[in-house]
């Protein structure tokens, strides 16, 4: 009787190890796509929080990170990006939204230099620097979020 219990426990342990190894081997090809989507979601949430809090520097940083990760989508999903027109369309739509949002936030080109005394008088008359505001951040976040949601309506990650 004890022999059977020992064999049963040893079999269960061996089966657990074998099952775990098989599960990891099957999950390996999906690590990159999951990582890209997880990071996109993480930075999208941080962008939302920063835009609501009016943290312009963080908004710019998170937008840059999302833009970088968006370029990773084609690498993470090569077959879907190449063969499925809808997936390609959604990935490119997110890229277009990010490109337009980033272009809208690009610094204005420098103008001709004003005389030195004009800059001093303007600086002297300017009020103390106020906290930066990001009036368009919430609207821009909505555009980015909508582009993500459009794809996730068809390609649900869960």
- Residue 148 belongs to domain spanning: 31-106+134-158
Reported as a single tens digit per residue, the pLDDT across 26-68 is 756 678 888 899 999 999 999 999 988 888 889 889 999 999 9
Q: Is residue 41 part of a domain?
A: yes
Q: Is residue 35 part of a domain?
A: yes
Q: Is residue 58 part of a domain?
A: yes
Q: Is residue 114 part of a domain?
A: no
Reported as a single tens digit per residue, the pLDDT across 76-130 is 989 888 898 999 899 999 999 999 888 877 765 555 444 444 433 333 333 333 3
The enclosing domain of 79 has a CATH number of: 1.20.120.10
Sign of the four-CA dihedral 54, 63, 66, 64: negative
Q: Is residue 141 part of a domain?
A: yes
Number of domains in the chain: 1
Q: Which of 130, 145, 153, 136 is nearest to 102 (CA)?
A: 136
Q: Is residue 43 part of a domain?
A: yes
Q: Is residue 126 part of a domain?
A: no
Q: Is 62 exposed, middle or buried (0-12, 13-18, 19+ CB in 10 A)?
A: buried
Q: Give the contacts of 69 (CB within 8 A, at least 6 positions apart).
A: 36, 39, 40, 43
Integer CA distances (angstroms), 98 to 7, 50, 144, 149, in order: 60, 17, 7, 14
Q: Is residue 153 part of a domain?
A: yes
């Amino acid at each position: 009787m004890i022999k059977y219990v020992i064999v049963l426990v040893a079999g269960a342990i061996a089966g657990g190890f074998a099952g775990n190894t098989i599960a990891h081997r099957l999950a390996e090809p999906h690590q990159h796509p999951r990582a890209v989507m997880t990071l996109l979601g993480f930075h999208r949430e941080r962008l939302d929080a920063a835009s609501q809090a009016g943290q312009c520097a963080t908004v710019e940083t998170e937008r840059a990170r999302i833009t970088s990760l968006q370029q990773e989508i084609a690498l993470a999903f090569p077959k879907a990006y190449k063969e499925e027109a809808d997936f390609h369309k959604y990935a490119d739509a997110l890229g277009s939204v990010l490109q337009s949002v980033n272009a809208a936030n690009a610094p204005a080109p420098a103008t001709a230099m004003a005389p030195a005394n004009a800059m001093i008088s303007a600086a002297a008359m300017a009020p103390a620097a106020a906290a930066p505001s990001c009036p368009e951040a919430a609207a821009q976040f909505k555009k980015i979020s909508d582009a993500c949601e459009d794809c996730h309506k068809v390609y649900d990650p869960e």
